[in-house]
Structure 1
Amino acid sequence: MDGRLRTRRQGFVRIIMADLLSADRDSWVQAINDAAKVLAEGWIAMRRHLHQHPELSGHEVLTTQFLKAELTKLDMPVRVAGQGRGLTADLVTDKSLADHPRMAIRGDIDALPIQDEKSVPYHSTVDGVMHACGHDVHATVIIAAMQLLSHLHRSGALPWPIAARAILQPAEETAEGALHMIHHHAVANVGAILALHVDPTRQVGCIGLREHDLTAACDMLEVKFDGDGGHAARPHLTNDPIDACTRWIQSAYRRVHRAVNAHDIVVLSIGMIEAGHSPNVIPDHAKIKGTLRSLGVQARRRTLEVLEDVGEATARETGCQVSLRLGSSAPGVMNDPALVRLLSDSAAQVLNPAAVDWIDQPSMGSEDFSFYLEHVPGAMFRLGVAGDQVGSAPLHTGNFDVDEHAIAHAAKLFAASIINYFDPDRS
């Protein structure tokens, strides 16, 4: 045989073999899509059950028990956290990874004190409580992703071994749940962590991604004003705490944005005022509560200095005692660029190459997912839940709902990201 012909034929063989190997390596993508079609109906039923039975932050015992039962069906070791709230479950498909750091996926499970105003069969059965932030979806997606991975493992469709951990945490809305789970060893032997948040401003099939800063840091503020009350007809004989309260708010709103660099984003909002019990009595005390949201350590520090100055000035002007106290707080979510690329590449495989919508600016909302990122690298994505008929109502409103097709999209993305994370050829 002519040498050039032999070389050319050998080259064709190598190309064909490479194509076959590539097809074999990617067959798990089709397996994920096929399994999702079979399991999707059950995922919708699970989400609706959670939506009908919401529990507020700090009370998620029955929700934890329900989710534990779902994971136990997959023969995974489940560990319930302290007080029976929150859990973790591991899927390790080969003994060689028994001690290997896990890839964790985290979902939150608590609801909000909001009345469900929707006319749907899965309307909340708890008066004044509903999943208005999509945590029912988040929890369902975590279970669904673990079901997909377990199905691929049992069917032999996994291309290589994986070590995954599901984290289902309580009390995200009060910024306490992540610390609760970390205290109960949720990130022990975890090498990376992923999370999601539903987004009614994005269409189903779309995910939002951003490297580095995704959300702002958030501090809860409480300011107390202690004065000397009296009759409303004789304010000159009082030190009026309501006067002090209103002066503080107006001064703080004005001063913060004059004292902080315009390039440093800070948002101060007062959402609660408590004072008085009668229209003709000046009370002894007043109290306000609000939030301070900031991007950057220096901006936060400068803002807190300004608020202390405002308090001192208000005390001098009104004769009241003014005290500022910081409550629970959460740092900003900082997405790891390598994990964002992992999510983007995985979305191209199991969703479509156009699924990723790159986020231009960080959100001034907060997320206690940030506490996990103080221990391990991680990334959060925004999940589009707006469909043609449902899913566009804003978060934290009584009409909030989602297009449930989004559940399968997120579950497939999590499962694919975990598989790709353990790819032995991944750089």
Structure 2
Amino acid sequence: MKAKHYLSSLAFVLAAGLSFPAVAQDTIKIGELNSYKSQPAFLDPYKKGMELALEEVNAKGGVNGKKIELIIRDDGGNPGEAVRVAEELVTREGVVMIAGTFLSHIGLAVTNFAGQKKVFFLAAEPLTDKITWENGNKYTYRLRATTYMQTAMLMPAAIAAKKKRWALVYPNFEYGQSAVQNFKAMLQKAQPDVEFVTEQAPPLGKVDAGAVAQAIDDAKPDAIFNVLFGPDLAKFVREGNTRGVFKDRTVVSLLSGEPEYLDPLGAEAPVGWVVTGYPWDKIKTPEHVAFLTAYQKKFNDYPRLGSVVGYSTIKSIAAGLAKTKGLDADSLVEAFKGLYVQSPFGPFQYRASDHQATMGAYVGKIALEKGKGTMDDIKYVDGASVLPGDNEVKKLRPASAN
């Protein structure tokens, strides 16, 4: 009965974004901040994934006899607010580390905070390469595959298409800018005669989809590289379908195979796009089947990519805590160097050279099944296979970051 009461209380805490008083000697406090209000499609499943992993860890006695207590806060979708919340978690709540963030510019702000204040930060989701390379610091690690990594995963299909005239469409903030910069550099290296005939970069969440789709069609590209996500993606796809923008054109697209963004499109899903994503119903590995079974049993729902990221975030934290000799930031930094973690996608490692995890992603083509978008012709790409080697990392990352 006590265990049941504890888990019920924990579920309430996670759902409400609240915390409850901790007994210092019995728990380890972890602070988590994210854009829950502004990005619910990804972060509601993310929170559920964290809850499932936390329940599993604590049901086994926690880490070294201490249970993990998660204190969740919303960062307001604003870098300044995110830094204020991070400061509050550290100074007022007394957390031993912070984790989370979704949008790249917010992740960068918290990365900077972690470096200045010497606080351990596990960036769960933000994709910009700067977090672990250009703006990397000793105290920041990152879980999810970066824009560079996911763009590299799509590059074989882009090169194989042998298209000369490309259109680019992306949200005009750090994530979109980084993805397009990587795509251009990689494709130009493989295909020097490539032309980029138009770039459409609407503000995040404010896309004029009709105008963007028409501008792309007017440029008469042979192929399109898309980086839009969320409601912006749905609007763009619908307007593009209406105008026939995608007909007879190769489209490669970051993130568009994730259920969070594919499901809202229903039968309008753009068949044939080459995407990174999460075909949850087609992954038959033992690790994923176990995760899927537990997730469906607890939530009576299927997982999204956010669920996997949230789950793997807590599993990473638990693995790091189990390895560390202390709870201070420097001890945590050392514990995460070379740390192996088991995830629904299989084992991955946090690289010592740049603090980037090697968790990969699935690549495939969008297909329709029973009136819903899904991924077909899928392949898992190990993150380690699309990351630069340690010698190259030395050129990308400040020496002080290690």
TM-score by length of 1: 0.29
TM-score by length of 2: 0.31
- Rg bigger for which structure? 1
Structure that is richer in helix per residue = 2
Structure having greater relative contact order (Cα 8 Å, sep ≥ 6): 1
